[in-house]
Amino acid sequence: MRPVTPRGFRDALPQEAAEREWLVRTMSSVMDSWGYGPVETPVAEEYATLEAGAGSLEGTAFRLFDSDGRLLALRPEMTVPIARLAATRLAGEPGPLRLRYAADVFREQASMRGQARQFAQVGLELIGARGPSADAEVIAVLVESLRSTGLTRFTVGVGTVEVLYAIIAAAGMDDAWGRDVLAASHERNLVGIDALARADGVSEVAAAALRAVPRIRGSRDAIDLCRAAATGCGVDAALDALAGTWDLLEVLGVAESASVDFGIMRSFDYYSGMVLEAYAPGLGLPLGGGGRYDDVMAAFNAPQPAAGFAVGIERLHIALAEQGVAIATPALDAVIGGESADAFVAARRLRGAGWRVRLSDRTGLPLVREALAAQAAEALYATADGDILRLDRSGEPASPLPESPGEPPTRSWAAGEGSR
């Protein structure tokens, strides 16, 4: 047989995998510097646990029965598994908890759409803290993490779902209408929202607010625009909190990478306050998103405020490529040939000096060709006397390396003038 991966699942070969690893490491170290510690959770969870936290997962989650007949699901995101972990394993810990993760998540996709079903995410959760300072911290770490990868052009849109909930409450309509409005906003269907605003019985203030608010985007001024557009809908408290968050973003120097955006409604139902989405120009899909989910912990009998974000590594990788940012993954420093024992000993010496060295059973010109193909900076040969000889481009021994090899080379001998 010629084996293939299942639809929507794929491999990453060394170049791509090394770049992905670098992205994860770079962003994780930013989160580390803010005091976030790593956690891991199992790939599979009880389906009921995920549903209790996230609401309906119909059509989203990969479901499976185990041999006991229990219904399990592969995690479709990391927020609910980490909320479960915080509510159970870390229940006694004094908060707030600052947890980060780098993990694969799984989502079912209809066939024939060419969509991935496994995604790598890097993200964090801040559990047990509320208010503008907690929201601003989450946004700031997101902005700093993205900047740390070399991404220069991106926007983190920040909104709050409380505004829409307040407008729905002020409309004086039944629950079914409210659900329709939420569904239309999840679908980003502004035409549908306008139609619902025209329904009989919708209070005038709510109708006007519904038509205007989802289109409001900007800087601090957008908060005032929203306040004016939703007068009489009871949105002041939510907007005051958002203004407080924005003040802190300005202090932290991340406001220029952020925007206020009342059009953001995340597709998971659990968000209860601040919501955010990161966009890069030229990338049609959000890089990542998140927000405040104060009710999820309550679903696990550990009511606590919480907020977080996740960044999709695949999408970030594409956005960096679009913006011409090359990820410098460390290349091989040398390929070394020679009798096994000689080469092992010589390679250990080089590694001790910080070199990345690959062993080869080739000699002469074939060894040089291998080094060129591997983009190694040096082609070396270990002698029985313990010397390490450089090979020139024709495969002949040239100058020996000094007794103590020194720092790894920074420039390829193939790119320069023969052997260095």
**Contact residues for other proteins, defined by CB under 8 A:** 153, 155, 157, 187-192, 194, 215, 217, 259, 261, 263, 277, 279-286, 318, 321-322, 324-326
Is the CB of 189 or the CB of 383 nearer to other proteins? 189
Beta-carbon contacts of 242 under 8 Å, excluding residues fewer than 6 positions away, are 132, 158, 159, 160, 223, 260, 274
Closest separation in Å from C-beta 152 to other proteins: 13
Closest separation in Å from C-beta 317 to other proteins: 9
Is the CB of 157 or the CB of 405 nearer to other proteins? 157
Which string of DSSP letters, residue by residue, matches 62-106? -EEE-TT--EEEE-S-SHHHHHHHHHHTTTTS-S-EEEEEEEEEE
Is the CB of 152 or the CB of 394 nearer to other proteins? 152
Run of H or E residues at 120: strand 118-127
Is the CB of 183 or the CB of 298 nearer to other proteins? 183
Closest separation in Å from C-beta 318 to other proteins: 7
Beta-carbon contacts of 269 under 8 Å, excluding residues fewer than 6 positions away, are 54, 55, 56
Closest separation in Å from C-beta 380 to other proteins: 31
Run of H or E residues at 380: strand 378-382
Is the CB of 92 or the CB of 324 nearer to other proteins? 324
Closest separation in Å from C-beta 324 to other proteins: 4
Rg from Cα positions in the chain: 27
Q: Which amino acid is at 25?
A: R
Q: How far apart are CA 140 and CA 152, in angstroms?
A: 15
Is the CB of 183 or the CB of 359 nearer to other proteins? 183
Closest separation in Å from C-beta 102 to other proteins: 23
Question: Two tokens at 125?
Answer: 């959760």
Name residue, tokens 């208010």: 131
Q: Hey, how many other C-beta atoms are within 10 angstroms of the C-beta on 25?
A: 11
